[in-house]
A and B are shown apart, each in its own frame.
Chain A
Amino acid sequence: MNVIETKKLTKYYGKSRGIIEVDINVEDGEIYGFIGPNGAGKSTTIRVLLSLIYATSGTATIFGKDVVKFGPEIKKEIGYLPGEVFYYDTMRVKDLLNYSASFYKKDCSKRIKELAGIMSLELDKRIDDLSYGNKKKVGIVLGLLHEPKLIILDEPTGGLDPLMQQTFFNLVREENKKGATVFLSSHILSEVQRLCDKVAIIKEGKIVKIEKMSDLAQSNYSKIKVESKAAIPEGYFDMAGVSGLKTENHSTTFMFKGDINSVTKKIAALDLVSLFVEEPDLEDIFLHYYQ
């Protein structure tokens, strides 16, 4: 069964573009990545799914039910972590958590304690005394306290330190093992790579590619930047697997795919000032995978 299914889902804000004909299918038990640069339409898609905003055309269903018609019913089983977390400033953390729990007809007190422990959250503090990272932690607990079947995460790691990110990812994986489906939007490729089974790439409101993570990982490009003392002769890097070559003065950048040894040998022959081998960022992905 598809947990999330959208068909030609389109949203315009007046005349400005939100998303255009987005088709995604998230299957039960998947961790589904939704990746794209800022303003690509990730949050718009999520907000339509939560019926915070209404689609201009197309349909969206969750658990096989229309998101607008059955909104309240569907949301019993959804945990949502918004991209930017804002809560009632004057409330204490535990009061906010209890208020949130009061919307679900089950006892969440045990789970709240558990999650607060894992995220090392101070329950007696007032929301407006919390740092952004700590507010994010509150958001994470809010999203998970009712043990939802579908977890929707919008840019979840912004503001969290690396250690907390790790804790959080473990938490998400655990929920996933228990049977929850996860829909995660992000503009950071590595975080999607670490977590997701499948990924949809969105650009300027349109889905450009949906791929299994394993397929995406196989086509492992490296981004290489070489700076040498002397000018690199033209055509020096003319070889299989090199693309997007750019030379500026003594520095050269290109994308490389294939046997890494062939290129390191070439580089070793140069008199170097510096060398960077990086994972390509999203921008590079768009430039090189999908042109």
Chain B
Amino acid sequence: MLNMYLHELKQYRRITMIWIVSLVTTAALYMALYPSFAPQLDAMKKILENYPKVLLDALGVGPNVFLSFAGFYSIIMAYMMLAMSIQAMNLGTGIVAKEEHSHTAEFLLAKPVNRTQVLTAKLLAALTILLITNAFFMAAMWAEINFLADILIAGKIFILMTLTLFIVQLFFLGLGFLVSVTAPKIRSVLSISLSTVFVFYVIGVFDSIIGSKAVRYITPFKFFDNQYIINNGSYEPAFLVVEAVFLAAAFTAAYYFYLKRDIRTT
């Protein structure tokens, strides 16, 4: 099984490096804007107060968002979360589907391995890829925070906020696995993952506008309220439970279907 795991890591090495570089660069540039914002915080706040609340909610900009670096960082997280969800969904859908998509399933499954081993090797490889991405991302962000002047954020809050990215990625990884083993035929992994992630994102935007609490249980983009993390120094347990239940269900179903179904030729 180790050979399949290493094979997957090698196959994804390039694309993962591209992801890491783009994510870190984007977030770093964003963050570099903060020092120029900081002196004008009061002015910013006044401008924002003149905006309609609905608009601000939809943009994910809370009332006190610019008051602290943590608030500013939470905006960066919102954008990174969208991008990294696409990475995770793409990975989850692709890592299984690519074997049938590029007709290599016949190669792999004619080997003396069972399908549980195949799926487990792929799952572990995907988890490793996401962990590496997040480790690089977190390290780079922390380095920049320490490098830029005038930035104050508690280490714990920083870690909790940055870690939401990984947890949301896990959600989409699970969803991707589930989709890849149940969808009848996947022509384009990218279009499936893009559209799925955007649907969840849009649901989240509507939640901000409607103000409905129920929607928070549906879309992982709303599992974590950064204001809550800043105030309480913790996650809301209910949503961690929702995530855990979803992941358990998604992966159980993925294994179940993958073991049972026919491998497609085309």
Q: List residues of A whose CB falls within 8 A of some B CB.
A: 13, 43, 47, 50-54, 71-76, 78, 80, 82, 84, 86-90, 99-100, 102-104, 142
Contact = CB atoms under 8 A, between A and B. Distances in A.
B232 interface: no
Contacts of A82: 106-107, 110
Which of the listed residues A13, A51, A142 has the most CB atoms from chain B within 10 Å of its own CB?
A51
Interface string B249-266: 000000000001011010
Nearest to A74: B112
B45 to A, nearest CB: 51
Contact of A52 (B11, B104, B105): B105
B106 A72 contact: no
Contact of A78 (B11, B102, B110, B265): B110
28 contacts: A13-B262, A43-B265, A47-B263, A50-B106, A50-B109, A52-B105, A52-B106, A52-B109, A52-B110, A52-B262, A53-B263, A54-B260, A54-B262, A72-B112, A73-B112, A75-B110, A75-B111, A75-B112, A80-B106, A80-B110, A82-B107, A86-B102, A86-B107, A88-B11, A88-B102, A90-B11, A103-B112, A142-B107
B111 A103 contact: yes
Given A50-B109, A52-B263, A99-B3, A87 B114 contact: no
Secondary structure call for the A interface: loop
Closest 5 CB pairs of A and B: A86-B103, A53-B262, A102-B3, A103-B111, A80-B110
Interface of B: 3, 7, 11, 102-107, 109-114, 117, 260, 262-263, 265
B113 A72 contact: yes
A87 B111 CA distance: 14
Contacts of A99: 3, 7
Nearest to A84: B103
A73 to B, nearest CB: 7
Contacts of B105: 52
Contact of A50 (B11, B110, B114): B110
A87 B110 contact: no
Contacts of A51: 109
Contacts, number: 61
A239 B150 CA distance: 107
A72 B110 contact: no
Contacts of B106: 47, 50, 52, 80, 82, 86
Nearest to A102: B3
B114 A100 contact: no
A256 B109 CA distance: 46
Contacts of B112: 72-76, 103-104
Contacts of A71: 114
Contact of B104 (A53, A74, A88, A102): A88
B3 A103 contact: yes
Nearest to A43: B265
A202 B110 CA distance: 23
Contact of B113 (A50, A52, A54, A103): A103
B263 to A, nearest CB: 4
A86 to B, nearest CB: 3
A104 B112 CA distance: 7
A90 B15 CA distance: 13
Contact of A100 (B11, B103, B111, B260): B111
A86 B99 CA distance: 10
A78 B104 CA distance: 17
B196 to A, nearest CB: 26
A47 B266 CA distance: 13
Nearest to A13: B262
Contacts of A54: 260, 262
Contacts of A84: 103
A80 B106 CA distance: 9
Nearest to B106: A82
Contacts of B260: 54
B185 to A, nearest CB: 13
A44 to B, nearest CB: 10
Nearest to A99: B7
A84 B110 CA distance: 14
A89 B72 CA distance: 44
A102 B104 CA distance: 16
Contacts of B11: 88, 90
A88 B112 CA distance: 19
A87 B104 contact: yes
A74 B3 CA distance: 20
A89 B111 contact: no
Contacts of A86: 102-104, 106-107
